[in-house]
Structure 1
Amino acid sequence: MKVNQAELVISAAKQDQFPGTMIPEVALSGRSNVGKSSFINTLINRKGLARTSQRPGKTQTLNFYIINDRFHFVDVPGYGYAKVSKAERAAWGKTLELYFSSREQLNGVVQLIDSRHKPSEDDILMYDWLKHHGHKVVLIATKCDKIPRGKWAKSKKQISGDLNRDPSDPLIMFSSETGQGKEEAWREIKDLLFAKQPDQESADRSEPDAND
């Protein structure tokens, strides 16, 4: 995917702040510090569009980024950070539940998991919750440059087993440092975004600059 335009539309703290446009969306979810900001910046070839919080777990908004005036990436608050109060977690949870359960524009979710470690309890609960709500999920195993390539298969097996992964949900080894998995991630994300728009996808394939 060639990205010509990317910008933050709004940081929404509640449902009535979500953009009203009907363009398709993909949400990005994961533990705090899993590398969501680096993932977004790598995909769009921009170093500073998505920024890492100086206080992990304290981001309380859903950040809507518009890409090529055609779709949104929605960076949702990171989960699993112990220093966040129960009251804050409850407030985020209500907004997130409304988003994931009722957002008509949401076509799927990218869930990021650190490839260096087994999935956390929060990773497992989040995946189960997304599947309970019927979402298609692309699993991204981040920071794979930090482990030997010979251990990638073991990492994927661990993640798949612990999550009881739906075989239809792709699992991609990814590194923001090397670009590993970038093209594969884009292919799967485009499938999420435009599976319901075959005519538009045909037009994309006919454009000479549609892909890297």
Structure 2
Amino acid sequence: MKIVSTEFIKSATRPVNYPISDLPEIAFAGRSNVGKSSLINVLVNRRKLVRTSATPGRTQLINFFDINGTFTLVDLPGYGFAKVPPEVKKQWGPMMRTYLETRDNLRAVVFILDIRREPREEDIQMIDWLEEFGVPTIPVITKIDKLPRSQRSAQIAKIAEATGLGKNAFTLFSAHTREGNEAIWELIESALAEAD
């Protein structure tokens, strides 16, 4: 997909604040520090559409972005080990679950895992929610340049086993080399086409 325009719409925490729109939405979800912001920035070919941070957990709201005036990219809060106040952490689960359950124009979720980390309880919870609400899922494994090729297959097998997803379900991605960029776009475009 050729990116012509990207524009921040608004941030929200609950349905009453979501933007009113009929455009299809593609959401991005993953634990803190999996490279979600870097993935989004590479996909839309913008260096700072989504702020990247050395401090995990900076995305504490649901952020909506208009892409080309044709669909909305939704950046969901990172979850997991982020050093944030406990009351904020408690809000994240219900905030994301409510979005996934109630947003009618959600077409797919790009679900992101770090190749160097085995999935944790929160990752499995996200998969369960996506399955429960029938949300099409685009599983992506990031930071593949951080592991030698000889070690990738074994690590992917561990991730596949922990998540219950097939090894071939995952698209491999590197923000550094941009490997996987086109493959992810093909899956997103396919999800958007089904919205028509």
- Give the structure-1-normalised TM-score: 0.86
Q: Structure 1's 26 and 168: CA in aligned 2 closer, same or farther, altered over 3 A?
A: farther
User: RMSD of the TM alignment (CA)?
Assistant: 1.8
The answer to whether residue 151 in structure 2 is matched with residue 184 in structure 1 is: no
Q: Distance in 2 between matches of 1:168 and 1:128?
A: 18
The equivalent of 1:21 in structure 2 is 21
Q: Distance in 1 between matches of 2:82 and 2:143?
A: 22
Q: Report Cα offsets for 1:94-140 as digits up to 9, x if no partner.
A: 32222110100101111110011221222122112211221111111
The equivalent of 1:200 in structure 2 is none
Instruction: Structure 1 unaligned segments of length 5 or more: list them.
Output: 198-212
SS at match of 1:159: helix
Q: Structure 1's 143 and 69: CA in aligned 2 closer, same or farther, altered over 3 A?
A: same
SS at match of 1:145: helix
Q: Distance in 2 between matches of 1:14 and 1:169?
A: 35
Q: Distance in 1 between matches of 2:184 and 2:167?
A: 15
The equivalent of 2:66 in structure 1 is 66
Q: Distance in 1 between matches of 2:54 and 2:167?
A: 36
Q: Structure 1's 49 and 82: CA in aligned 2 closer, same or farther, altered over 3 A?
A: closer
The equivalent of 1:99 in structure 2 is 99
Runs of 4+ in 1 over 6 A off after TM superposition: none
Q: Percent identity?
A: 40
The equivalent of 1:134 in structure 2 is 134
The equivalent of 2:110 in structure 1 is 110
Is contact 2:32-2:82 (8 Å) kept? no
Q: Cα offset for 1:53?
A: 4.2
The equivalent of 1:154 in structure 2 is 154
Larger Rg: 1
Q: Structure 1's 178 and 58: CA in aligned 2 closer, same or farther, altered over 3 A?
A: closer
Q: Distance in 1 between matches of 2:96 and 2:76?
A: 8
Is contact 2:141-2:170 (8 Å) kept? yes
SS at match of 1:112: strand
Q: Cα offset for 1:63?
A: 0.7
Q: Structure 1's 106 and 38: CA in aligned 2 closer, same or farther, altered over 3 A?
A: same
SS at match of 1:22: coil
- Give the structure-2-normalised TM-score: 0.92
Q: Cα offset for 1:93?
A: 2.5
SS at match of 1:2: coil
Q: Report Cα offsets for 1:131-162 as digits up to 9, x if no partner.
A: 12211111110000011122222222111111
Q: Structure 1's 196 and 168: CA in aligned 2 closer, same or farther, altered over 3 A?
A: farther
Is contact 1:109-1:136 (8 Å) kept? yes
Code of the aligned partner of 2:69: D
Q: Cα offset for 1:82?
A: 5.0
Is contact 1:136-1:169 (8 Å) kept? no
**Higher deviation after alignment, 117-126 or 18-27:** 117-126
Q: Distance in 2 between matches of 1:182 and 1:73?
A: 16
